[in-house]
Amino acid sequence: MARQGMVMVDGVAIRAAEAKVDPESVKITVGGELMNYRRYTWVMLNKPSGYLSATEDGGGETVLDLLPQDLRRQGLFPVGRLDKDTEGLLLLTNEGGLAHALLSPKRHVDKVYYTRTAGQLVEEDCRAFSEGLVLGDGLHCQPAKLEILLSGEESEALVTLREGKFHQVKRMLEARGKPVLYLERIQMGTLLLDQSLSRGSFRFLTEEEIAELHALV
């Protein structure tokens, strides 16, 4: 396309495909269409159960298998992990610095999970969460929020955490004797899981959403 004169940089056809330009300070059009340059890519995925939050499979399917080939080539990785059977909001990006900051417990970025548990959740469980649970293996959890939505033989609740240790929600509820039957992340910082995304589908974050993530950290 460059050789055919279709690629214009600031209105000048650039015929050498190897030409280097600063994409942040020039206007590039291809066939008259303005190219929107994005240094980093941010994707919100509605993760289905059955996919590993990893970039390489050890035989199983990873969340990257849910993205088209051209996106997979951009070096995207999941921002934190959801368990294989956990569903919902998973961000993928190639912007390492911001991804790292969002995961740091020091930055206080809330992650909100919807869960269904076996056993009856009661106020005493909420108090234990807010005081900071100590798990069976001695792990001290930071204070977390448990909001009961439905209390019965099976219960439903929202859990808000600022850290993300291995299997944390499951281990915290297990420690209260209410094992998790189902887990879905519905929020991360300022981002809510987009209800228009069906399971397994994704969309790009908007510029505003990315700016909000930056502002968080």
- Active-site positions read 83
Strand partners, 192: 187
Q: How far is the CB of 166 from ligand URA (least distance, A)?
A: 8
Contact between 83 and ligand URA per CB under 6 A: yes
Contact between 93 and ligand URA per CB under 6 A: no
DSSP code, position 107: G
Contact between 157 and ligand URA per CB under 6 A: no
The structure tokens listed for 82 are 């959801």
Give the three-class secondary structure for 187.
strand
53 vs 93 by CB, closer to ligand URA: 53
Binding mask 33-72 for ligand URA (x = CB under 6 A): ----------------------------------------
The structure tokens listed for 183 are 């887990």
Residue that the structure tokens 């792990």 belong to: 139
Contact between 112 and ligand URA per CB under 6 A: no
| Residue 193 · residue 88 · CB < 8 Å | yes
DSSP code, position 26: S
173 vs 210 by CB, closer to ligand URA: 173
| Residue 140 · residue 134 · CB < 8 Å | yes
Q: Among 168, 175, 178, 213, which residue interacts with ligand URA (rule: CB under 6 A)?
A: 168
Q: How far is the CB of 55 from ligand URA (least distance, A)?
A: 17
The structure tokens listed for 23 are 């994409």
Q: How far is the CB of 85 from ligand URA (least distance, A)?
A: 8
| Residue 44 · residue 194 · CB < 8 Å | yes
Give the three-class secondary structure for 207.
helix
- For helices 207-216 and 96-103, the axis angle rounded to 10 degrees is 50
Q: How far is the CB of 38 from ligand URA (least distance, A)?
A: 28
Contact between 92 and ligand URA per CB under 6 A: no
Q: Among 45, 82, 92, 191, which residue interacts with ligand URA (rule: CB under 6 A)?
A: 82
Contact between 121 and ligand URA per CB under 6 A: no
